[in-house]
Chains A and B, each alone.
Chain A
Amino acid sequence: MIGPPVIEALQMALVLLAAPGLVGIVRAVKARLQRREGPPLVQPYRQILRLLAKEVVLAENASWLFRTAPYLILALTWAASSVVPTFSTGLAFAPLGDLIVITALLGAARFLLALAGLDIGTSFGGIGASREAMFASLAEPAMLMIVVTLAIAAGSTQLSTIAAFMLSPAAGLRFSFALALVALVIVALAENGRIPIDNPATHLELTMVHEAMVLEYSGRHLAMIELAAALKLLLTISIIACIFFPFGLGLPGFAGFLVGLLSYAMKLGIAAILLGVFEVSIAKMRVFRVPELLGAGLMLGLLGTLLLYVSRGL
């Protein structure tokens, strides 16, 4: 039998190793749909290794905050991902925090990233940080409203309990869950700076948000940032999968463990393909259209909550 500490260690290693691969799949899908050859799947790994081997070019007035932020951002994202049931619900770290704690850990990572963007004192760093702050000020409440919706239905904010509830027949098909899923997808796109909110592939100055904040990073610092960004993508997909598609989770025995692992890999693959298809088929929004989208996410979350307050069955 595999104990919770082993599963936890396995998961923490697995998410870190799988995250760049997930980014690779999304990029490959997009390249194929655009009739490009595209980079090989292992390109993100190569990129991180190459960045690690390069020297750091530090701007002249970079402070200690700029130099420590990448490690802290990676650590916060990684710590958040240690609480999310990916392929098994028996995690040793599960009691550390609930979905609100995960949101807050990601918020802390974003706080540091925005500060790092302001540290050098360039206009691009500022534009990225200020726009990220605006997105976050709408995306985070939307996320918390989704949490409230789920918590009222499942009677818990603990992800493992929510997953168990979603697997039980008591969950059923509810209108509020559909609203929450749509809202969660919007929030996930915003959190990860994907199209239509932000373009992860851009280096066109005025459209950058995430890329503008990390513009001054290089070498091992940039490697940490890239790894953290990939990990965050994997983490948000894992949260969606754990809440709305918890198939294969929580089965007993070693066979159940293997089923969980396989179904998790399958879920990641499907999500990566869907994301790639979605990104290719839609254009990026103007920055000031984004608040409308995120506000819609917030309202959907609130609507879901109110529906559940009116009747637990909706």
Chain B
Amino acid sequence: MIVALLAGTALLLVLALAGAVARGQGPRLYAAAAIVTALSAVLALASLASAPATLTLPLGLPWLGWHFRLDPLSAFFLFVVDLGAASASLFAIGYGRHEEEPGRVLPFFPLFLAALQLVVLADDAFSFLFSWELMSLASWALVLVHHRDRESIRAGYVYLLMAVLSGFALLLCFGLLAGGAGAYGFAAMRLAHPAPGLAALALLLALLGTGAKAGLVPVHAWLPLAHPAAPSHVSALMSGVMTKVAVYAFLRIAFDLLPVPPGWIGLIVLALGGITAVLGVLYALMQHDLKRLLAYHTVENIGIIFIGIGLAMVFRAAAGEEAAAALALTASLFHVFNHSVFKSLLFFGAGSVDVATGTRDMERQGGLIHRMPRTGFFFLIGCAAISALPPLNGFVSEWLTFQAILLGPGLPEWGPKILIPVDGALLALAAALAAACFVKAFGVTFLGRPRSAAASAAEEADRFSLGAMGVLAALCCLAGIFPAVVINALAPTARTLVGAAMPTQSFFHAFVPWGAIIPVAAARSSYDGFAIFLLLVAVTGLAIGAARRLAAHAVRRAPAWDCGFPDPRPETQYTATSFAEPIRRVFGPAVFGAASAVRMPAPGSLSPARIRSALRDRLWEIFYAPVAGVVERLATSADRLQFLTIRRYLFFVFAALVALLLALALTQ
């Protein structure tokens, strides 16, 4: 199995080489990548429940070799990676034709896919870090595809800096784990028992390193810059898949390589998750660039995933709470799968809109549901799924997370007792705000009247793009309607990580008892996606049927009523900014330091009234601006060293030598 998977990775590397040579063959390359990754996805799915398999190749460090391992955890994440990769490749067969410089995409896209697979399969620190950096660099090259765009350059710069930070933190983390003897194999790390303080430090470094890749607040700032800058199929991969690989890395280190960490680290993860979820969605609400809005929602969903992981860590640290830990972890993994599916779908939709109208700015769109009905339908399913609406998949994972939160009062310590319900409130707030945000995203982009000439002349996406979106939309529905299948499939992974799994969920019962998912006990809580779906279909059918039989059939098209004053100009519609204005007024002053000023002309004056509102990125001001300032100042003062005479340089060399010798003499 593992050999076949690696053969697939090797094929992707060959495709990367082919992409560098044969630039006109974009669609064929994408088709080949789609087939290879789809096959890998099937293989990964098949090995979800199988025993760990390992393989060593004579590559990498000569005394270490290149270790690979396929266990239930890596199989699950490999499935997520390959599913996203296959759908992105399928989407790109059509979408890639619109790329102006395909030569800048084609070599790096398969390389990126191969690197994603290699990270998940790596079983020693060297190969892991090598693949990790390969993943960062390949995606960095893809962010810079539109390299003449000023925003892309800034995005690429910030991304590179944060990738370096992330890689550096992980390097130190693995250094601590490997110990003085330099045992870089994961197998050796599992057996080593580092001192508690050292283990905690390693875990915090892992949180920093993987959080910076996943987009955890406050190390998220690169994400909403870099993800939208790349072509849309790459954005989908970065948001839907690469952030999940970062989650994988954290799970691997925290739950597999290290011994059970103390509960307070779980509390840190829990707090960061809650803050990330709410801030991510609030930032998303303030955007009117469709792809940037989606990127901020990735931050939010990473927060939700980390809430689940934090809960699992807290429960795991407490005695006798394995079942609760399994529930929290399953919820988190379910959300990993869900988010990868609907975020890819939404980015594909945004890419199609971008191609059709030539802009990502929502304020210049509108009414696209008429011009692009299929894209609109699939995008709507994605919006409903990410807003956690039943019977779609996003609801199930958030519901499971809530059920895990409700198990919090069983814990004896005070920290979790206070923090878990607060996190519940943050999760609820994030979910409700996400629904508001996607009403805005879909409503302003696809509904209403076109706000620009390009929007009123938009064309439906090609069939490959629609196919990719259709598959993902169907997955959103299926995973929501048959959640028991997903939960059962996640059981081996949960068992690998926390030593327990959720009770096996029954489905396809002959309706009595219903095939409801029951996280803990039937009297406690249950949810039956399939029955809800059937009920909704039946009741909707009943309503439509009754209306057909009882009601008048006449339909007349007429101008909009609008209280008697319809205005044909599309500018009179609500825009993305005006839609979010009430929420900005409620949350803005506290979170963004928002200030707005209205300038009203004097009565009788014909000049227009103006409103000017300004938002500040407090996170940037607190976490990034000071660091940038210190670096700047250091660089300026070090700048003086650049223009000295050779005598002075020689003096410095001499002084350094003396200082070092003195230090040596003192320490010996």
Binding site for B on A (CB under 8 A): 52-61, 63-65, 71-72, 74-76, 78-79, 82, 93, 95-98, 100-101, 104-105, 107-108, 110-111, 114-115, 118-127, 129-131, 133-134, 136-141, 144-145, 148, 151-152, 155-158, 161, 203, 205, 215-216, 219-220, 223-224, 287-288, 291, 298, 301-302, 305-306, 308-310, 312
Contact = CB atoms under 8 A, between A and B. Distances in A.
B514 interface: yes
A78 B539 contact: yes
Contacts of A107: 387-389, 432, 435
A305 B421 contact: yes
Contacts of A287: 582
A205 B432 CA distance: 26
Interface string B335-378: 00000000000000000000000000000001101100100000
A51 B182 CA distance: 79
Given A75-B540, A95-B522, A306 B418 contact: yes
Contacts of B193: none
A144 B402 contact: yes
B439 A133 contact: yes
13 contacts: A56-B552, A59-B558, A60-B560, A65-B447, A115-B442, A118-B447, A141-B428, A158-B526, A215-B562, A215-B563, A216-B561, A219-B554, A220-B547
Contacts of B525: 98, 100, 151, 156-158
A126 B389 contact: no
Contacts, number: 284
Given A220-B547, A223-B551, A134 B369 contact: no
A82 B433 CA distance: 27
B88 interface: no
A61 B536 contact: no
A110 B436 CA distance: 10
A75 B573 contact: no
Given A74-B543, A114-B443, 11 more contacts: A56-B555, A71-B540, A96-B528, A97-B527, A123-B562, A130-B574, A144-B431, A215-B561, A219-B551, A302-B421, A309-B417
A52 B550 contact: yes
Nearest to A212: B563
B197 interface: no
B28 interface: no
Nearest to A72: B540
A104 B422 CA distance: 20
A288 B525 CA distance: 36
Contact of B526 (A95, A122, A145, A306): A95
Contacts of B447: 63, 65, 115, 118-119, 121
B544 interface: yes
B563 A79 contact: no
Nearest to A99: B525
B366 A121 contact: yes
Contacts of A155: 524
Contacts of B428: 140-141, 144-145
B535 interface: yes
A126 B573 contact: yes
Given A58-B555, A60-B558, A79 B536 contact: yes
B579 to A, nearest CB: 4
B288 interface: no
Contacts of A54: 552
B390 A52 contact: no
A193 to B, nearest CB: 15
A118 B574 contact: yes
Given A119-B448, A138-B432, A157-B525, A133 B579 contact: yes
Given A95-B516, A131-B582, A302-B425, A309 B444 contact: no
Interface string B94-125: 00000000000000000000000000000000
Contacts of B558: 57-60
Contacts of B373: 64
B594 to A, nearest CB: 14
A224 B542 CA distance: 12
Contacts of A105: 390, 532
Nearest to A117: B443
Given A95-B528, A138-B586, A205-B563, A123 B424 contact: no
B23 to A, nearest CB: 41
A111 B523 contact: no
Nearest to A136: B432
A196 to B, nearest CB: 17
B585 A288 contact: yes
B551 A52 contact: yes
Contacts of A306: 418, 421
A80 to B, nearest CB: 10
A216 B428 CA distance: 32
B425 A312 contact: no
Contacts of A302: 421-422, 425
Given A121-B447, A126-B574, A157 B432 contact: no
Interface stretch (B32-40, B291-299, B403-411): B403-411
Contacts of A130: 574, 578-582
Given A97-B532, A115-B439, A130-B582, A123 B543 contact: no
A60 to B, nearest CB: 5
B419 to A, nearest CB: 10
Contact of A133 (B436, B449, B539): B436
A157 B428 CA distance: 15
A305 B439 CA distance: 30
Contacts of B417: 309-310
B380 interface: yes
A96 B399 CA distance: 13
B424 A145 contact: yes
B384 interface: yes
B579 A141 contact: no
A194 B536 CA distance: 27
B555 A129 contact: no
A161 B527 contact: no
Contact of B388 (A104, A122, A134, A141): A104
Interface in B537-593: 539-540, 542-544, 547, 550-552, 554-563, 566-567, 570, 572-574, 578-583, 585-586
B432 A124 contact: no
B390 A108 contact: yes
Nearest to B429: A141
A159 B62 CA distance: 63
A309 B409 contact: yes
A305 B389 CA distance: 24
Nearest to B559: A60
Contacts of B527: 96-98, 101
B371 to A, nearest CB: 11
Nearest to A63: B369
Nearest to B434: A137
Given A97-B527, A309-B408, A309-B421, A65 B389 contact: no
> Which 7 A-B pairs have CB atoms at the shortest separation, nearest pair first?
A126-B574, A121-B448, A55-B554, A118-B443, A134-B582, A141-B428, A133-B436
B77 interface: no
Which of B387, B448, B525 gathers the greatest number of chain A CB atoms within 10 Å? B525
